[in-house]
Amino acid sequence: MLADLPVLSLITFSPLLGILVLLFLPKQRSRLLKVTAIAATLLPLILTFWLYANYHPEVGGAEFKELSTWVEVPVNKETLAPGVTSYMLEFQYHMGVDGLSLPLVLLTALVSLMAALASVHIKKRWKSFYIWFLLLEVGMLGVFLARDLMLFFVFFELTLIATFFLIGIWGYFNREKAANKFLIYNGLGSALMLMAFVMLIATAGLTYVQTDNTASLIYSGNYENLLSNLTNPEALVNVLPEMLGGNNPFYLTDGVKWAVFILLLIAFGIKLPIFPFHTWMLKVHTEAPPAIVMIHSGVLLKMGAYGLLRFGIFLFPEQAREWAVVLAVLGVINIIYGALLAMVQKEFKLVLAYSSISHMGIVLLGIASFNEIGLQGAVFQLVSHGLISALLFLIVGSLYERTGTTEIPELGGLARSMPFMSGILLVAGMASLGLPGLSGFIGEFLSLLGLFDTMKWLTVIATIGVILTAVYVLRAVLAITYGAMPERFITFKDARLIEAVPMIALLAFIVLLGVYPSVLTDTLQHSFDVLINQLNARVGG
């Protein structure tokens, strides 16, 4: 029955049902509001599990494609070309899924549910919080499923607006500064991304549509059309002059390609983040409420890497391959810089923030490898880090609620009063440092293995950062769980059921990916087979 329904739209917009119910609930009924929000995040997760189970990698998710005209605007032309009756600018409602986006959709739905459970720590304005929270989930799901540039941009901006309010209203002491910094940096990235998208639509977004009575030239942001035109521009160049009386409108020169690629690299590099565009992220990790940091670190940062892969690497593989060394160097800088700074932090949230910067460097290394092993490792690292960081910040929120601090020197000996939570923290730390048998190892290993084939010395340098990861993770985790325990911690209770459930669920997925990685890599393989074949065809092997 689900196969006959627009499943991708249902996944994306199902949280709106929760918002509709929340609007009619009294704002004082905190328990009922929380149950409603949690139920609203459960529905897209169930639908996504069904999608994952019924996804066929060999056809690339074509059976789930949704396409319709959203907005159509006539473009005035003083003279029409021979055989052309109109020029149109078209915005399409185009949703699709493939091996690259499907794992990230599942990650989004899972982390959103876990974060909704973790939002038990929210103390004020529950109704407004959950409305913005569910709008944020709609935006994140839409980002990974949109296949039209403008539709992608709309969903991307929705996540920016929702996150701004969630940080600015429900964050800690410097929440307004953190929210403003988030908005400024990400707003700049959005402006650059929009500029790149407009250039893409104007130069490579042209299609010729003929019916019985009309023949139109349509400019659109249809991703499949853009990919086709960029992969085989000769077909468009050869056909259009005949339709346009010798006036070839295809102006996608090498200079324009490089301009668009660099704009996309900076725009998504801010979101990832790539050094030196990382300072805004530190404020968010320390000032946002725990549930939002779970989403920010677990999902929102991944939108930067996804956008870079989807639009930067897939559309412009020649330019990306020429800059492979630059991407690898940026990745090594992220790894070493993040690891060194994490080693000297006394605030546990800052340790995790710099750790995220370091781990995103691993993603850049996998991308820079430009082979199937490295690219699979990059996406595996995205999913793995999303799960691990969400789990770690879930624990951070629970610790802060009990102790009132996340300063490492003020903590210690928590394994005595909170053995369950301390045990989960220790395993999550082991996953973060890449212990075999847990998901963190697979992503790092595949990314480094892929890069070693082409850039051996950079790979060797990057492994230094991996070694440093063990230093700062063990330093922080062991200091928190062992050692002398302040007397006031003796009476602290261990994790409640509503905290333990998401901890166990996230840890279960971390272990599953660690011992059975093919559950993810089998889904990724087809997408990257296609990319590598396109790359070899376009650059000559």
User: What's the pLDDT at 136?
Assistant: 96
Dihedral angle of Cα 444, 330, 111, 106, to the nearest 10 degrees:
-70
pLDDT tens for 253-292 read 788 899 999 999 999 999 989 988 888 999 999 999 999 9
Residue 312 has pLDDT above 50, yes or no: yes
Least confident segment among 160-164, 180-184, 208-212, 297-301: 208-212
The pTM of the full predicted model, rounded to 2 decimals, is 0.94
Of the listed ranges 3-7, 231-235, 388-392, 429-433, the least confidently predicted one is: 231-235
Using CB atoms within 10 Å of the CB of residue 527, give its burial: 0 to 12 exposed, 13 to 18 middle, 19+ buried.
Answer: buried
Q: Is the pLDDT of residue 245 over 70?
A: no
Instruction: Let me know: does 384 contact 337? Beta carbons within 8 Å.
Output: no
Angle at 281 between CA 280 and CA 283, to 5 degrees: 70
Q: What is the identity of the amino acid at 513?
A: L
| pLDDT value, residue 486 | 78
What pLDDT, in 10s, does the model give residues 442-486? 999 999 999 998 899 999 999 998 889 999 999 999 999 887 777
CA distance 126 to 137: 16
- pLDDT band per the 50, 70, 90 thresholds, residue 325: very high
The answer, yes or no, to whether residue 537 has pLDDT greater than 60, is yes
| pLDDT recorded at residue 357 | 93
What's the pLDDT at 96?
Answer: 93
